[in-house]
Structure 1
Amino acid sequence: MRALLIVSSLFVLAGCATSGAKTSSLHPATTIDAARFYTGTWYEIGRRPMSLTDGCVAGGTTYTPQGGVKVKVLDFCRDGSPKGNLKTIGGPAHIVDPGTNAKLHVSYRVFGIIRIPRDYWVLERAEDYSWFISADPSFHDLWIYTRNPRPSQAEIAPLVARARALGYDTSLLEFPATGD
């Protein structure tokens, strides 16, 4: 219980922290088919390190449509190794830009009562919805996700190049172990 409180506190602090990462005026580049995108599990392949995710590997996000612009979000990872203890945090979300559907506001819930708001923007995605790159609106944090839980290095390298082309310092990214 105490560990969960510490993790949730770190999550809040990570969202409030500032860094040397450049602030970008980037906006989502493509329209998202919400029914296709916000359904099922996406696997986290790359991310900017933050205290909340220290030790997290084999992570991902599962989206469950709730009707209209509403989505249920469940983030998960394993502690220390792909076989480690499962850690989760989730909550209700809503699409804040209907039509484009690339901006999501999530209200994570800790202990069912503590609300931690976060905003995510999908900056790019594959035509076939096999991958996407997202960031927070300040462009401080960046994530690379795929539908494949174990993409090859040959699949990851072009995604990192795309993130770099968006103006993100990809030397800041970490690539945690993936699951199966």
Structure 2
Amino acid sequence: MMVCIKFVRAIFLTLGMGALLSCTGVPEGVEVVHDFEASRYLGKWYEIARLDHSFEQGLQGVTAEYSERDDGGIDVLNSGYNVEEDKRESADGKAYFIGDRDVGRLKVSFFGPFYGAYNIIELDEDYQWALVCGPDRDYLWILARRPEMEKAVLDRLIAKAAELGFATDELIMVRHDTPL
């Protein structure tokens, strides 16, 4: 009986670890950028478009600010204007590279020991816009250094995301005409 309990416990532990690790994966068939330079990625980014999810639901004027941490990671400050509650909300997090620092694959946490994937899958050579996804095709963001993006660039990024199997017809275009 004790052997059986240990076996069942080992299976649950293995499945639990697998579930946690899958939260920092890359969707099948999607590649992250190489020759990534974190120092050039730091600073403020504006969310241009996203697939909706509970932790950003109802937010407009969304920005992300990245800065270097003393421990080699990246501090993350996400904020957005909650239209329904008429107030700005923010969340502090931290991100760490998964593997080499010159690969755009990180894990980010806003909730203690739980991490999610932050995969940079397309990046302007001047670091002016980025296409980012999570561990699966349910998470997608288009970011830019300015609150607006040239339509041709936006259309190209949306086409690339559609080609990779993301539900681009469900993208929310983020407004940046909200109060600070």
TM bracket (short chain): 0.7 to 0.9
1:57 counterpart residue number:
60
The answer for unaligned runs of 5 or more in structure 1 is: 1-15, 17-22
Paired residues for 1:69-148 under 5 Å: 69-80=72-83, 84-109=86-111, 114-148=112-146
What TM-score do you get using the length of structure 2 for normalisation?
A: 0.74
Q: CA RMSD in A?
A: 2.5
- Where structure 2 has 5 or more consecutive residues not aligned to the other structure, the ranges are 1-19, 21-26
* Equivalent residue letter for 1:133: L
- Residue 152 (structure 1) shift: 4.3
**In structure 2, C-alpha distance between the alignment counterparts of 1:139 and 1:28, rounded to whole Å:** 14
Shift of 1:42: 0.7
**Within 2, Cα distance between the matches of 1:68 and 1:35?**
15
Contact 1:126–1:132, Cα closer than 8 Å, also in 2: yes
Offset of 1:115 from its aligned partner? 4.8
Say if 1:24 and 1:139, in contact at 8 Å, map to a contact too.
Answer: no
Q: CA deviation at 1:67?
A: 4.3
Structure 1 residue 151 displacement after superposition: 2.4
Greater CA drift, 159-168 or 137-146: 159-168
**Which residue identity is paired with 2:76?**
V
Summarize deviations over 1:107-160 as a string: whole Å, max 9, x none: 214xxxx55422110011111111000111222211110011122434422221
CA distance in 2, matches of 1:29, 1:63: 18
Q: Which of the residues 24, 27, 31 maps onto 2:35?
A: 31
8 A contact 1:30–1:124 mirrored in 2: no
Identity among equivalent positions (%) equals 25
Counterpart amino acid of residue 88 in structure 1:
S
Rg: which structure is higher?
A: 2
Matching residue within 165, 168, 179 for 1:167: 165
